Amino acid sequence: MVSLKWCCGQNGGIKLIEPNDNLAKSYLKMAEDSLGTMNRERKYNQTFAISACYYSMYYSLYAICVKIGVKCEIHSCTIEFMKKLLNNFYLEEDFKIIKKAFDLRNIAQYYADKIILKKDSDYIMETAPLFIDKSREILAKINEIDIREIKGKLEDLKK
């Protein structure tokens, strides 16, 4: 089980960087591109579709991170950051959706002998566009006060 404190101490874990609106836009574009891949692959390759589905959500979340000024190369840490420090923006249900997609992507890519239920893959693929829309809304409304508050909470965790 990851914690934000643990994530902040890891190589490739959560680090503060300069906020970058252009990079945030690039990640949002990557999210949209991944959604297109998911839709194209859905009929042909479940593994790729599930992976693209997860990345569509992850990239939209990561767009918010770089807008705030947070860098993280450990996906489970980025998701924990969302759960703990972006909870004024995302609901618990949003966290459960991206976590489910993360888990299914891991199964699809690393456990060829495990079966993913169609209802589970359908669920994440149906909710991915809504997750991206929500991330897009958050990007539009998050402000400097929000960003300072989030970074302050992160700094307190490092102590």
Residues 137 and 92: their CA atoms lie apart, in Å, by 17
- Check pLDDT > 80 for residue 159: no
Q: How confident is the model at residue 158 (pLDDT cuts 50, 70, 90)?
A: confident
Of 84, 105, 64, nearest in space to 7 by CA: 84
- The structure tokens listed for 152 are 């302050």
- pLDDT, mean of residues 51-63: 98
Q: What are the tens digits of pLDDT across the range 8-46?
A: 999 999 999 999 999 999 999 999 999 999 999 999 999
- The structure tokens listed for 125 are 């693929």
Q: Cα dihedral sign for 88, 15, 31, 114?
A: negative
Q: What are the tens digits of pLDDT across the range 119-142?
A: 999 999 999 999 999 999 999 999
Q: How confident is the model at residue 156 (pLDDT cuts 50, 70, 90)?
A: confident
Residues 159 and 139: their CA atoms lie apart, in Å, by 28
State percent of the chain over pLDDT 70: 99
Q: What is the CATH number of domain 16-142?
A: 1.20.120.330
pLDDT for position 2: 86
52 with 125: CB under 8 angstroms? no
pLDDT for position 1: 74
Q: How much is the pTM?
A: 0.95
Could you state, in order of their start, the residue ranges of all structural domains in the chain? 16-142
Of 9, 102, 3, nearest in space to 53 by CA: 102
pLDDT for position 140: 96
- pLDDT, mean of residues 48-67: 97
